[in-house]
Amino acid sequence: MITDYLVIGSGIAGLTFAVKIAEEFPERKVVIVTKDSEDESNTKYAQGGVAIVLDKDQDSFKKHIKDTLIAGDGLCDEAVVKMVVEEGPKRLEELLLWGANFDTDPDGAFSLGKEGGHSEYRIIHHKDITGYEIERALLTRVRQLPNIELLPYHFAIDLITDHHIKDSGVKPKTCYGAYVLNQKTGYIFTVKANSTLLATGGIGKVYGHTTNPTIATGDGIAMAYRAKARVKDMEFVQFHPTALYDVEGGSSFLISEAVRGFGAYLRNKKGYRFIPDYDDRAELASRDIVSQSIDNELKKSGDAHVFLDCTHLDIEKFKKHFPNIYDKCLENHIDIETDWIPVVPASHYLCGGIQVDKKGKTTLENLFACGECTRTGLHGANRLASNSLLEALVYAHNIYKYHSKHKLEAVNVEIPLWNEEGTVITKEHVLIQHNLKELQALMRDYVGIVRNNARLKRAVKRLDVIYTEVEDLYRESKVTTSLCELRNMINVAHLIINQSLERKENKGGYFNSDNINVIVG
Ligand code: FAD
Ligand code: SIN
């Protein structure tokens, strides 16, 4: 298959870019490959909303910039923060144009929520299902554009680079598209593209216990890493403080930070409101601080979870703002009017990723990246709540702008077909399952919220064994989605562990008890 633009991923990042470029160039072809159903993505589950400065009387760009810099703990790129924050209102206008709806107050102004680390009310939202609404609107627009071909259940295995094209005199370090697996037929084909966009989202599943859906296996980051693009800041995994406690500890339903913004309290089993002991902002401290504080409380008490107390809140208003959370709690026999919600931190977001400049360019020619798989410099050591959807919108726009100004050369090289010579259909599903569980256990036990050097070094050794077994299996097997995802998660784990070992100072979401600055409480 040949296309002008290949987009890998159909969350907010991939769809926004696809819509913009397809609208501008109706004669050019855009192919979106996505490994699950069209809408399955982290985007679909986003709850709190999008941080955008709208109330200029009370709020200002300056305040949003300051909050982002404080959350990022000194590691944000200030120019990027300024650019993203100031672009917010323009990008919102486009979302509205594409048909996304956001809640309004009785006076017609947008209803603005508040979350941890924000000094003002600035989160626009659609009840507590903001991501679902944005995804719906974007997919509706995509279907109206005949030059976009959207291929669900198509898995991108690897990027095609010079490495695949020998002796052709091609430009070094260039991307020419990707090898793609049709998951329904098992057929692997090449997509030759003048420009490729990685919009593959996050890595939550590497930890097992996560707020992310199962698609979040870090595929784009692993593909970029194998293609020798630069990947940075991987030690900054963000743990969301309030995932609904689940004995199994697998995928967890999120209790939005906006619930704390609405006035909920965190309590330990004895009913003590412990967060003010850690930070003056109490429940509205930034996410890294709240998660580390909960972790500390749990280690001190030996309890499995803490509680979120909403019993003092206006329940009718709560139901209106958070109907999904209210229903989900009821389903779990928790009536928030009388019961406290058991919550625990879970892996939620990756602040680092594929390094891109302000135009979304990676360190490879013709390879762009957008959204959660990237490291833009916006988040530094810890992302401010609800800055992620905003970042994806702004960078998708910047990448589109770059493409509308620069002529991309047509790919003019022979790309070899996928080579599966000597491979067989694997019967080793048990090996894949077993190694996945082992990987997730080692990430949970040795590379969690609080790390130390001995555990990180142990993780390196254990990961090495898993890596060797899985690479052997990969070489001799016909590829499957689960095998590729496992291989990708191993690459991502390797990057998180090694970049953790390189960091000698605790910052934001990274905390190593062997480093000098130690948590209070
Ligand atoms: P995604 O939306 O995850 O999309 C990635 C896409 O890539 C998917 O379609 C996936 O199937 C596809 N893909 C992945 N690998 C491959 C492959 N190998 N081949 C083909 N396709 C592939 N952020 C906020 O700003 N505000 C919030 O309120 C908020 N709430 C959140 C709540 C939850 C429960 C979660 C999990 C996240 C939340 N976030 C929030 C974070 C935010 O939702 C994500 O960071 C953002 O949606 C990422 O968008 P994306 O387009 O980069 O990736
Ligand atoms: C939430 O609603 O708590 C998630 C917000 C985010 O991840 O930005």
Sequence ranges of the domains in the chain = 2-235+351-405, 244-345, 429-510
pLDDT-derived band at 425 (thresholds 50, 70, 90) equals confident
Furthest C-alpha separation in the chain: 71
| Segment among 1-15, 186-200, 242-256, 331-345 with least mean pLDDT | 242-256
pLDDT over 50 at 471, yes or no = yes
CA of 513 to the centre of ligand 1 (A): 31
Most ligand 2 atoms within 8 A of CB, residue of 44, 128, 349, 386 to mutate: 386
Q: Whose CA is nearest to atom 1 of ligand 2?
A: 256
* pLDDT at site 168: 60
Spatial contact of 199 and 369, defined as CB atoms under 8 Å apart: yes
Q: Which ligand is nearest the CA of 387, by number?
A: 1
Give the mean model confidence (pLDDT) for residues 299-318.
96
Confidence band of 407 (pLDDT split at 50, 70, 90): confident
Helix (H, G, I), strand (E, B) or coil at 269: coil
At residue 520, the pLDDT reads 46
- Cα 7 from Cα 23, distance rounded (Å): 15
Q: How confident is the model at residue 169 (pLDDT cuts 50, 70, 90)?
A: low
pLDDT tens digits, residue range 490-516? 999 999 999 999 999 999 999 999 997
Looking at residue 245, its pLDDT comes to 95
* Alpha carbon distance 498, 493 (integer Å): 8
Say how many Å lie between the CA of residue 485 and the centre of ligand 2.
Answer: 25
Distances (CA, A) of 356 to 238, 368, 387: 20, 8, 17
- Calpha distance 41→138 (Å, rounded): 13
Categorise residue 130: left if φ over 0, alpha if ψ from -120 to 50, beta otherwise.
alpha
Whole-angstrom Cα distance, residue 408 to residue 419? 28
Query: How far is the C-alpha of 336 from the C-alpha of 353, rounded, in Å?
Result: 37
Distance CA 75, CA 69 (A): 8
Q: Out of 356, 389, 484, 485, give the residue to mutate to test ligand 1, the one with the largest number of ligand atoms within 8 Å of its CB.
A: 389
Yes or no: say if 198 and 373 are a contact pair by the CB < 8 Å rule.
yes
Instruction: Calculate how far, in angstroms, residue 371's C-alpha sits from the geometric centre of ligand 1.
Output: 8
Q: Tell me which residue of 497, 496, 234, 228 sits closest to 373, measured CA to CA.
A: 234
Which atom of ligand 1 lies closest to the CA of 210? 36
Q: Is 484 a residue whose pLDDT tops 70?
A: yes
Q: Is the dihedral of CA 350, 355, 360, 364 positive or negative?
A: negative
Q: Give the ligand with the smallest distance to the CA of 348.
A: 1
Find the mean pLDDT for residues 272-297.
Answer: 95
CA-nearest of 296, 295, 38 to 143 is 38
For 429-510, CATH gives: 1.20.58.100
Cα distances from 57 to residues 61, 106, 125, in angstroms, run 11, 18, 20
pLDDT tens digits for range 81-130: 999 999 999 999 999 999 999 999 999 999 999 999 999 999 999 999 99
């892996």: which residue's tokens?
347
Query: What's the CATH class of domain 2-235+351-405?
Result: alpha beta
Residues with CB under 6 A from ligand 1: 8-14, 33-36, 40-43, 45-50, 130-131, 155-156, 199-202, 211-212, 215, 219-220, 254, 349, 371-372, 386-389, 392
Q: What confidence score (pLDDT) does residue 412 get?
A: 84
Output the pTM of the full model: 0.97
The preferred substitution site among 50, 52, 114, 115 for testing ligand 2, maximizing ligand atoms within 8 Å of CB, is: 115
Q: Is 521 a residue whose pLDDT tops 90?
A: no
Task: Report the share of the chain in percent with pLDDT over 70.
Answer: 98
Atom of ligand 1 nearest to the CA of 372: 52
Q: Which fold has domain 244-345?
A: Flavocytochrome C3; Chain A, domain 1 (3.90.700)
Query: Which ligand has the minimum distance to the alpha carbon of residue 151?
Result: 1
CB 258 less than 6 A from any atom of ligand 2: yes
Question: What's the one-letter identity of residue 319?
Answer: K
d(CA 388, CA 256): 14
- Please name the residue ranges forming H helices in 302-372: 315-321, 323-331
User: What is the structure's pLDDT at 163?
Assistant: 85
CA atoms within 13 A on the CB side of 373: 35
First to last CA, the chain: 58
Annotated catalytic, 455?
no
Predicted confidence band of residue 171 (pLDDT cuts 50, 70, 90): low
63-80 tens-digit pLDDT: 999 999 999 999 999 999
Identified catalytic residue from 91, 122, 260, 287 = 287
What are the CB-based long-range contacts (under 8 Å, 24+) for 13-16? 13/199, 13/201, 13/370, 13/371, 13/372, 13/373, 13/392, 13/395, 13/396, 14/197, 14/199, 14/370, 14/371, 15/135, 15/138, 15/139, 15/141, 15/142, 16/138, 16/392, 16/393, 16/396, 16/397
**Which pLDDT value is given to residue 167?**
61
DSSP 154-178: EEEEEEEEGGGSTTS-PPSSBEEEE
| pLDDT (tens digit per residue) in 13-64 | 999 999 999 999 999 999 999 999 999 999 999 999 999 999 889 999 999 9
pLDDT, position 517? 60
Mean pLDDT, the chain, whole residue set:
95
pLDDT at residue 172 in the model = 62
Mean pLDDT along residues 232-244: 97
Of the chain, the percentage scoring pLDDT greater than 90 comes to 91
